Structure 1
Amino acid sequence: MKTIPVHKISDRNESGFEIHYTSDEEMRRAGDKLGIHRDDHYLFFMIETGSAEINVDFCDILLPNQSVYYLLPGQVHHRINGKDAKGWFIAVDTGLIAKEFREIFEDHLLMQQPYQLTDERYRQCHQLLLLLNDTYKSNSGEPFYLQNVYALLNSFLATVAASYSKLCTAEKAASRPKQIAQDFKRLLAENFITEKSPTAYAQMLNISGAYLNESLNKITGMPVSYWITHEVMLEAKRLLYYTQLTVKEIAHQLGYDDHTYFSRLFKNTVNKTPSEFRDSYHK
């Protein structure tokens, strides 16, 4: 594989939305069929009974019963395993998710974690998804069909966003450094291949480099340079593990003209050369 496949929701339907109720066996079959890939859209999971596990960017994420979890566009994932698991799978085009919800979902610089629902919040989500599924699979020729579907979807997304928002303190959520960290994460995801200078991101945010560094340190405990390198190395790991691109090709794809410099940076960051990293995962 020369590139990591990107699955587009527009290739499957025009509504930008899918919902399925599934079991662990169906999860395994779907995982085998889809293989390693990224999506250009959000994925949401709600596990009702049992538990499931999914590998996301080299992290095995355990999804316990009565929990919700989501994947961001671009995250590489595969291997969904279940243990007597049953639950919901919802694919949503990014354009259908309100900006204020996305700010919650995209808030974390590190890997997002499952959220354990309270019994009351679980019942709310369960009822919403039952109604959403019934409406989605009803006669699409009915008046206001999509409006009904999107309204119910928005209610579910609001419920999930409200749950995840509790992971942030009110003080942090309202702070200027918190907003800067969120804006920096968005810019970094969009520009890390072409821009690797902390100063460049400070200029994009119209703040000083010192203030950007201070804000990131306050919110995450790490400086700007750490997060830039982290983003680059994560993509490098993806390409080393999931593709047959040479180290030189990967270096150039990530914006490095000098592949020997890239290899030294990888070694200093990961404590393995690119080739050693690839070999260790393919043993």
Structure 2
Amino acid sequence: MLAQSVYTLVNRHNGNLSFKVFEFDNNSYFDHIQRNNYFTLIIINSGEGVATVDLSEYSFQENTLFAFYPYQPFMLQSKGPLIGVAIMFHHDFFCIYRHHKEIAANGILFNNIYQRPFIYLEEDSRKTLLNFVNEIVGELKTEGLRRDEVIVSYLKIFLVLATRIKLEQQTVQLAGDPAGKQLLVIQNLRNAIEENFRTMHSASDYAGMLHLTPNSLARITKTHFNKTLSDLIADRIIIEAKRELYLTEKTIKEIAYELGYDDEYYFSRFFKSKTDISPQAYRDTVGFNRGAAGVVCAI
């Protein structure tokens, strides 16, 4: 892609990473568990292997785009050389929560507990996305007027296009169940979780609501989502907790209560067991209620 393969922007206020683009030609970057406090996009141009994400395993191959949200644990183990490019950006640089209406990536590309954390790219789509990466790098190499805003614009387009691809692939996957029986159960389960995750934390509660035995629902959930139902519910709670920690001034006690936990300390232990970081540390490192003023990063 470029003669120099790593380009970075640093937040001038705190010295932390704001934005980074780099090429890789081996698996040393991702062959151990990652828990980053920023969003990570990885395009695999060549190579194949197994991705471990949130304790679930997925096979992947070349022409794959991964999308990971802050503190989502992931690891890529390849069978040979892994070649591609990665983009990393902090909430302070671009907050997908605040720009949800513009790009619709939150809940589809990122923070989507119901779908795999990657998409397959047709050759044309891969080239298009890589072209935007090249445009971003071109801006990073300059000191041009309003450079950061231009980079954010390219990043938005990249995210919109990737989100479109994922939506299209979801439609194809749903069409692959002609009988529609499991599809109906899965859709009802998703609706039930979205409506009740703040108050219903037990897998058996959802089985009863859907008029299925716990074992039957467990099999369907594991087959379709590659997760247990308990993990699915927990993931949804954690995503909401992260959103509240970032976007609001609510205390951790208030957030815990709104998510169905009377004991703030039990909630904090639950959060840390799932993310490997405390709620307060997440708020401190991801960025509490920042980003409203726009891009604040610079070299």
Match of residue 230 from structure 2: 229
Residue 75 of structure 1 deviates from its aligned partner by 2.3
1:162 aligned onto 2:172: no
Residue 42 of structure 1 deviates from its aligned partner by 2.2
- C-alpha separation between the residues in 2 aligned to 1:21 and 1:182? 40
Paired-residue identity, %: 13
Match of residue 59 from structure 2: 62
1:44 aligned onto 2:41: yes
| Conserved? CA contact 1:107–1:182, under 8 Å | no
Residue 110 of structure 1 deviates from its aligned partner by 4.4
- C-alpha separation between the residues in 2 aligned to 1:12 and 1:63? 35
Match of residue 117 from structure 1: 121
| Conserved? CA contact 1:48–1:67, under 8 Å | yes
| Conserved? CA contact 2:113–2:232, under 8 Å | no
String of CA shifts for 1:25-46, please: whole Å, max 9, x gaps: xx31x346xx434233321110
- C-alpha separation between the residues in 2 aligned to 1:76 and 1:144? 34
1:254 aligned onto 2:270: yes
**Number of equivalences:** 205
Q: Which runs of 5+ in 1 are unaligned?
A: 1-8, 202-208, 235-249, 256-283
| Conserved? CA contact 2:20–2:87, under 8 Å | yes
1:135 aligned onto 2:132: no
Partner of residue 101 from structure 1, selected from 96, 101, 105: 105
- C-alpha separation between the residues in 1 aligned to 2:132 and 2:49? 22
String of CA shifts for 1:142-198, please: whole Å, max 9, x gaps: 32111110001111111111110112339x8xx9x969937945985xx6xx96258
Q: Which runs of 5+ in 2 are unaligned?
A: 1-9, 175-183, 222-226, 236-265, 272-299
| Conserved? CA contact 2:43–2:66, under 8 Å | yes
Name the SS of the counterpart of 1:166 in structure 2.
helix
- C-alpha separation between the residues in 2 aligned to 1:44 and 1:178? 28
Name the SS of the counterpart of 1:21 in structure 2.
strand
Residue 233 of structure 1 deviates from its aligned partner by 7.8
Partner of residue 190 from structure 2, selected from 181, 187, 208: 181
Name the SS of the counterpart of 2:70 in structure 1.
coil
- C-alpha separation between the residues in 2 aligned to 1:115 and 1:166? 10
- C-alpha separation between the residues in 1 aligned to 2:70 and 2:62? 24
| Conserved? CA contact 1:61–1:113, under 8 Å | no
RMSD: 4.7
Amino acid at match of 1:230: D
Residue 121 of structure 1 deviates from its aligned partner by 0.9
Name the SS of the counterpart of 1:104 in structure 2.
coil
- C-alpha separation between the residues in 1 aligned to 2:57 and 2:47? 17
Q: Which has the higher helix share?
A: 1
Residue 130 of structure 1 deviates from its aligned partner by 1.2
